[in-house]
Amino acid sequence: MKLIECVPNFSEGRNMQIIKQITDVIEEVEGVRLLDVDPGKATNRTVVTFVGEPEAVCEAAFRAVSKACEVIDMSKHHGEHPRFGATDVCPLIPISGITMEETAKYARKLAQRIGEELKFPVYCYESAALTPQRRNLAEVRAGEYEGLKDKLAKPEWKPDFGPASFVPKTGAVAVGARNFLIAYNVNLNTTSTRRANAVAFDVREKGRKVKDAAGNESWQAGLLKAVKGIGWYIEEYGVAQVSLNLTDISATPWHVAFDTVCECAQKRGLRVTGSELVGLVPLQAMLDAGRYFLEKQQRSTGIPDSEIIKIAVRTMGLDELTPFDPQQKIIEYKMGGKATGKLAGMTLKAFADETLSESPAPGGGSVSAYMGAMGIALAGMVANLSAHKPGWDARWKEFSDWAQKAKAIQTELVNMVDEDTNAFNKIMEAFGLPKETAEEKATRKAAITAATKYAIAVPLKVMQLCADSMPIIKAMAETGNPNSVSDAGVGALAARSGVMGAWLNVKINAAGLDDKEYVTQVLKEGADIVEKAQAAEKEILTIVVKKI
């Protein structure tokens, strides 16, 4: 499925009734999911985030822009943020299954519709720009609303779509296609806008104007690539902020931006007290930030995502001004794309009770995957305990790397708990297909074969993952914290049990398959894994018993 995100910024951040009228028309469009509504009183601006398939998103965006024209009067607007229209900007962002070039085409099509049907000036920017001079939003919006009338009179600033006439109530809109942008404010222990601006000029790519001895002006570049920034004072919170737009987080990750602002603020006698995320952030950016700060502390990064996220939130003070809820602020969590499966999301007791019930699933395959997940989890625990062991500080990175490998395998095995049950359900669905006609029988037979092969492939993968755990478990038995060597031993027992349990599922599913060549190949592969896993278990237990 092609998915794009739209993040329009509306010039109203105080009247929630007006904001709701705009978001209501977005939610009316089928196939669009509203992820976030982030109003700002001081900026008098609301950032809205929604996702969906391209056509649906463009329809929702058009309706939102149209409604903003009705309910927002730019002639009465005042706020801290640069702006030149009721809908100030309306960027489209590729999320999955779609290229930037395709997204830019949708943006231009949307811009054309807005200009022709709503009849006010529309500019295209960034990847949707029709000329290189209009790629930069700051250039497009220069002069803001107050200078828009004079700007429209200049031939070089004729709108890309819509009339070249000033519409006082509506202003203009910039429609673009861009990479994921993080809007991010860093809080300072000052009320001075001038000092906040000084820090912003230190870090932003554009930098600041400087004069040489002869009085000639030039631009002195700032420290961070793909970063825009200004300083402002937020009366609502009584603090000045360095307000940043991170336009390419691969060039400047947001944790690097935070650290750089901290360093520049300190040099100017200021201190960063926290920060504020506007809108949503990708999960990977949050995890990268947490790992970065853990590594600075020489702590293991092979811990659950939830703990990594907590480190990022605490270190950057993301909850200083308002509560920070990862489920609401991380885009994948908000979309539900990273939701835990039905079985994996259960409590231990609920999973055990569901297994005990008369339902045939979860069965031995799911339980085998979970045994394997617990086995490698124990190895990861030993690695984390070793990374933090007093006197072992020089080895923290070694054990952190082992813990990360363990975590990766554990994540896959936990996913396989539900996938084994899904595979069983596919077989049941295939057997339930009609079989009255010759064509129906052929279709049913093909479906049963495909479902059976999948039901073999899933436990075979569980076997391989459990076997892949053994070198990590062995390393922890040999070199890990000696006080936890028994945990490594239990990990080996669980991993071997995961292999053997999944092996039984491979064999019972293979028994009913007509494709004998495939069955022979699979059984040989499975038998090899069993042999290696059993040998590895024996080696590990020998090490464990000797150390005990």
- Residues tagged active-site: 81, 420
Secondary structure in 3-state letters for 365-380: HHHHHHHHHHHHHHHH
Question: Is there a contact between 207 and 227 (Cβ–Cβ < 8 Å)?
Answer: no
Sign for the pseudo-dihedral over CA of 409, 352, 499, 424? negative
**What are the counts of helices (DSSP H) followed by strands (DSSP E) for the chain?**
17, 13
How far is the CA of 184 from the CAs of 29, 261, 510, in angstroms? 29, 12, 54
Instruction: Quote the CA–CA distance of 351 and 409 in Å, as a whole number.
Output: 21
In 297-357, alpha helices (H): 305-316, 326-329, 331-335, 348-356
* 47-72 residues labelled b (16+ CB within 10 A) or e (exposed): bbbbbbebebbbbbbbbbbbbbbebb
Which position has the token pair 């975590």? 407
Which position has the token pair 């982030």? 38
Question: Is there a contact between 202 and 264 (Cβ–Cβ < 8 Å)?
Answer: yes
Instruction: Quote the CA–CA distance of 227 and 206 in Å, as a whole number.
Output: 8
Angle at 321 between CA 91 and CA 78, to 5 degrees: 55
Report the DSSP beta bridge partners of residue 76: none
Closest C-alpha to 265, from 326, 203, 352, 183: 203
Name the pairing type of β-strands 9-10 and 45-52.
Answer: antiparallel
Instruction: Quote the CA–CA distance of 201 and 176 in Å, as a whole number.
Output: 25
